Amino acid sequence: MADASYPPELLYHPEHDWVRIDSADPGVAVFGITWFAQDALGEVVFFDPPEVGTTVTKDEPYAEVESVKAVSDVIAPLSGEILEVNAALADAPEAINDDPYGEGWLVKVKLSDEGETAALLDQPSYTASLA
């Protein structure tokens, strides 16, 4: 597994999710789980994604990640509609461990309220919460 890292350009949710706002469209974001989350889970063996077109609600579970040790709900960091899920995770869920901010992304979401981002943490605040 990669070393601990928390990219400064991302936004974070206290339940160990990250959000990457689309540079071309601030109404679209990609979600994933942080290095801390994947490390706590251990080797991920299955990602159970939501269906495209379903809506997710900030602070509510929207998917499950299963590791060799446990099943965990993934909490939506923002509200919106699922535009795309990372289909590659069906065959290679370990990407969530190996590259949590890159190939291990989970879903792309059309945000319903861009203002919700104000409640997310920036990188220094999130990493401080882990200490």
Partner 1 sequence: MTAAPETTLSRTPLYDCHVAAAAKLVPFAGWEMPVQYAGVKEEHLAVRSEAGVFDVSHMGEIETSGPDATAFLQRLVSNDVEQVPVGGAQYALLLRRDGGILDDLFSYRLEPSRWLTVTNAANHAKDLAWFQRQAEEFDGDVTVTDRADDFAMLAVQGPLAREIVGAISGGPLPVRFAVAERRVSGSDALICGTGYTGEDGVELLLAPADAPRVWDELVRRGATPAGLVARDTLRLEVCFHLYGNDLSEERGPIEAGLGWACKEDTGFIGADAVRAVREAGPAQRLVAFTLESGIARQGNPIEGGGEVTSGTMSPSLGVGIGMGYVSADRAAEGTTLEIDVRGRTRTATVRAKPLYRRPDRTETHG
Three-state DSSP class for 123?
Answer: helix
Asked if 48 interacts with partner 1 (CB under 8 A), we say: yes
Residues 72-91 contacting partner 1, CB under 8 A: 90-91
Q: Which residues pair with 111 in a beta bridge?
A: 80
Q: Among residues 66, 99, 103, 114, which is the contact residue for partner 1, using CB under 8 A?
A: 66
Burial of 59 (0-12, 13-18, 19+ CB in 10 A): middle
Q: Among residues 9, 25, 43, 113, which is the contact residue for partner 1, using CB under 8 A?
A: 43
CA 110/CA 59 separation, integer angstroms: 16
Binding piece for partner 1, criterion CB under 8 A, among 23-31, 41-49, 53-61, 119-127: 41-49
CA 47/CA 85 separation, integer angstroms: 10
By CB under 8 A, name the binding residues for partner 1.
1, 42-43, 45-46, 48, 64, 66, 68-69, 71, 90-91, 94
